[in-house]
Amino acid sequence: TFAVRAFRCKGGEEVWDMGDGSEPRRTQSSPDPHPHAPDGYSSFEYSYGDPGDYIVRVRRVSDDGIPAYTHLHVTVEERPEE
């Protein structure tokens, strides 16, 4: 599960690049300015098709045109044989 929150960012949406060549995902976190609002995060589940290292990039541009970026390194290991 991936989750993100854009603080004090009015308008816009998060655009996710999962780092594996798949189509970008779009989410929209809550505009609630309180940083601890329990419902402030947008989230979704994602499964990688292959083991490897991936850089997930998230970008959001506010209605004022101000961009915000974050990224995360994800390591996907091979599933053990059962």
User: What pTM was computed for the model?
Assistant: 0.79
User: Where residue 1 falls among pLDDT bands split at 50, 70, 90?
Assistant: confident
Rounded mean pLDDT of 5-21? 81
Helix (H) or strand (E) holding 59: strand 52-61
Q: Which residues of 3-29 are buried (b: 16+ CB within 10 A; e: fewer)?
A: ebbbeebeebebebbbbeeeeebebeb
The share of the chain scoring above pLDDT 70, in percent, equals: 83
Tens-place pLDDT, residues 40-63: 777 889 999 999 999 999 998 888
Rounded CA-CA distance 29/27 in Å is: 7
> What is the chain's mean pLDDT, rounded?
84
User: Where residue 32 falls among pLDDT bands split at 50, 70, 90?
Assistant: low
